[in-house]
Amino acid sequence: MTATMTAAVNEGLPPEVRDLLNSADGAAFEQALDAMVRQREHHLFRALGVLARDLHGAVCRLGSDLANEGVPESMTDARNYLAEVLDMSSKAAHRSLDFVDRMRPEAEALSANAAAVLDFSRSETDPATALARQTQVFASACAEGLNDMVLVQSWQDLAGQRVKKVVSFIESVESSLLELVRLTGALAGREAPVEVAKVSSQDEVDRLLSEFGF
Amino acid sequence: MFLRFGEKRLDKNMKILVVDDFSTMRRIVRNLLVELGFSNPLIQEADDGNAALTMLKANPFDMVVTDWNMPNMTGIELLQAIRAEPKLKSLPVLMVTAENNREQIIAAAQAGVNGYIVKPFTAVTLKEKLDKIFERLAASGASA
């Protein structure tokens, strides 16, 4: 760096920093720099801690609001409800597939019976012949419709996969939140409690938070 | 082993293992296979990769139709395990999955998948892929 550039950079700095930069005492410079960085980090971690605390408070309030309105009291209940959604949609899909299994042989038998009638048919103008032909068209439309019905049930699997993703998202939000609280507490210089992963009840969560002064 | 690989044809009496954690999807795939003329009693089911691998090691199968997203052992892990097992490595594997991003399709191809179908699909698509798999296997068997 040239002397002119150094001078230009110095111009833009607060006086105490400029004094430090120009100081010949290397150890004092290091100390002052450390103190500045620590002060900044401390503010940042405090801010993060408060943020985590607020976020946790917001989640708790949301939980109690939901409880007052008679909807799921906790995330566990929410997960159970989603599991029920999975179960019910699976049952509905299986009922539809049962129906297809029952109706498919009926359609095949109808088509075979119509073919047998046509075997004996003497004239195309015979009403029985016309009916038998219509019956075959109907039976084949039924078979096609039943096949479509089977395929449509695969949406249950796709919807179920989305539900499973939401369940794991809820779990990750819970554990990330706790991890954030633990991390901010640890960075702020407090001892990290052991076995944080096992925290489950609301009391434990609150105790953990208070250990970090939030 | 190699001869057997070359001999593989789309045979309606083949033993097929359908692997999916959703019972609905297993039933649908079974239903479609039966509709395509495969024998219902020869189709078996497993609800994850681990269960499938145990069944494959215990009994001979002619083809595996597997989902990707499953607990314990996923479809891609099952495919890798099949390719790593000397007794099973030439078994045709068709992946039927909702995963349709580029990286996953490439990963499946690199792991040696024989076919890849994105859900939801039709019986026509299933038939096309099965025909293609066995055409290709017959061709590679003939040239070997």
Of B23, B25, B69, the CB nearest to A154: B25
Task: Give the integer Cα–Cα distance in Å for A211 and A213.
Answer: 5
Whether B123 has its CB under 8 Å from any CB of chain A: the answer is yes
Report the pLDDT averaged over residues B95-122: 87
A158 contacts in B (CB within 8 Å)? Answer: 98, 119-120
Coil, strand or helix at B72: coil
- How far away is chain A from the Cα of B91, in angstroms, using its nearest Cα? 26
Instruction: State whether A156 and B22 contact (CB < 8 Å).
Output: yes
User: What would you report as the CA-atom Rg of chain B, rounded to the nearest whole angstrom?
Assistant: 14
Percentage of chain B surpassing pLDDT 70? 90
B121–A150 CB contact, under 8 Å = no
- Own/partner pairs, A52-58, CB within 8 angstroms, 24+ separation: A52/A177, A52/A180, A52/A181, A52/A184, A52/A214, A53/A181, A53/A209, A53/A214, A55/A177, A55/A180, A56/A177, A56/A181, A56/A205, A56/A209
**Predicted confidence band at A132 (pLDDT cuts at 50, 70, 90)?**
very high
Complex ipTM, two decimals?
0.73
Whole-number Å distance between alpha carbons of A75 and A174: 9
For chain A, say whether B124 makes contact (Cβ under 8 Å).
no
Give A121's DSSP letter.
-
- Is the CB of A150 less than 8 angstroms away from the CB of B20? no
Query: Which residue is closest to A94 within chain B, CA to CA?
Result: B24
On the question of pLDDT at A171 being above 90, the answer is no
For chain A, the residues whose C-beta falls within 8 A of a C-beta of chain B are 90, 93-94, 97, 100, 147, 150-158, 160-161
Q: Dihedral sign, CA of A156, A157, A163, A166?
A: negative
Q: Give the closest of B31, B120, B123 to A155, CB-based.
A: B120
Contact between chains at A150 and B119 (C-beta distance less than 8 A): no
What pLDDT does residue A209 have?
A: 54
pLDDT digits (tens, 9 = 90+) for A83-102: 899 999 999 999 999 999 99
A71-85 residue pLDDT tens: 445 677 788 889 899
**Which range has the worst mean pLDDT, A135-144, A193-202, B93-102?**
A193-202
Least CA distance to A156: which residue of chain B? B24
Percent over 90 (pLDDT), chain A: 28
The answer to whether residue B23 neighbours chain A at the CB level (below 8 Å) is yes
Q: Which residues 34-53 in chain B show a CB within 8 A of chain A?
A: 35
